Structure 1
Amino acid sequence: MEILRVTNLTVKNEKTILKNISFNLKLGKVLGIIGESGSGKTTLSKILLGLYDEKQLAVTGNIIFNGINLLNLKNKEKNLLLGKKLTLIPQNPMTAFNPNIKIKKQIIDTIKINSNNKKSEILKEINKFLKIVKLEETEKILNSYPFELSGGQLQRIMFALCLILNSKVIIMDEITSAIDIENRKNIIFLIKKLEDNNSSIIFITHDFRTLKEIADKVIVIKNGELIETISFHDNDNFKEEYTRKLVQASLLR
């Protein structure tokens, strides 16, 4: 079943940033997006999430999420989807949290927007899902401020929230950059948990090694254009020289 379809997505300001981008994403699948810095990957994620200024950018095409064209929605309607059905896990998870509020209140407030459950029921659910993402000292974590936790712990909290909210499409922007092998394995484990929950993932990265382990297909973006779609069943037989160079550079890191 298809959960997201993007057709002829074009984004312009003084120049063209993205040109005629088209792809689809099926329920419970992982789509990788790879391209060098400045190719338009992060702009694409912001457009998908509605995180852009309509006065600054002209956006045309279609973004059909679960049968709804996101580009036709008003801001209030977009906000009902963002954070629950469409979610971002950023490169720096600290940016997703208020540094002055304890984790427990932030998680509860986020869930209460989308739930009529009592606080005690919500807390029980939070504890359950924190343990699923391998955060054992739940009481200590919930009573911490974001700056008292590591980036890895904050990242796991975001994965747990996606599971609790039953997010349908999760965009992950460079979340494996500058991490060691053990943390990379942890992220792969967490992504598998989301897949088991039937969540669909858009994984934006330079990290081709991780893509090979998690992605069902990968789109390659160069200068704002989609130049190739890769399936790993094709035995790495890439058509574009640009793709081959990107992969080689990634594997040398």
Structure 2
Amino acid sequence: MLGLVLKALKIDEPVQYIPRYIRNMNAFHANGTKVVVVDELLEYTLISFLFTMYSLENNRSEENVTRCMKNFYVLEDLQNGKREIGTHNETQLYEMSLLPENLMHTAMDNYWTIWTFLIGHELYHAIHPEDRNGKDTELRADQYAYRLLINLIMQQKKNEVPEELQVFWEDQYLSPIILFEMFRLFDVYSELKGKKIVYQDHPTPKERQDNIFSMFKDDIPEEMNTEEGNKVLNLILNSSEYAEDWLRYKISKGKL
């Protein structure tokens, strides 16, 4: 996958991909090599978030909602807050993850297209180390990464992506918005628990979403079918709204 990304960006220099259990993503130069460091906890949390949201939308039975919301709370409190990998119950996590095949594929396509976006974002920093203007730099890195994603979606539409790497379907064109929605929910939880969220050198999740939306006029090709992608995002947003309402109610009642 990394090779496909580098080819799309026309990067010929060596790039080293390093997954680490750390608190952030990073990119830098070292001995002529671009180094991208990826947070393994973020990767794990992202997968768990996606399965939780899709399961919640797919099955609103009382039993499954309980499973989903317990896992959602663990995502918020343990993985995002305490920076630890864990689950409330492996059996319930497995049962929550039993999705219809189409949603299973969509969730994993979400994961890989978001991964691609994150790598593109960090590669921007590695390519442009001179760009250090705080929020504006981060927004430019997001734009760079989003153009990469759209480029790969259009390549796959033209059958130019190897079959084993074909995750770049047109319905994935809003996957970065899903990533930022996850970050937004993390902030909601932190603020409800009394932690003030202050963004200094980075834009807020809402600013990052708006930044991507602002690119549609110039960067989304007219021939791209956006209808299914809109449905995918709305599905996630429905679950996100439900999860946020649940959080607010539980915390207001002192139950979390």
Same fold per superposition (TM over 0.5): no
Identify, as 1 or 2, the structure richer in helix.
2
Identify, as 1 or 2, the structure richer in strand.
1
Which structure would you say has the larger RCO, counting Cα contacts within 8 Å and 6 or more residues apart?
Answer: 1
In the superposition, the TM-score normalised over structure 1's length comes to 0.32
In the superposition, the TM-score normalised over structure 2's length comes to 0.32
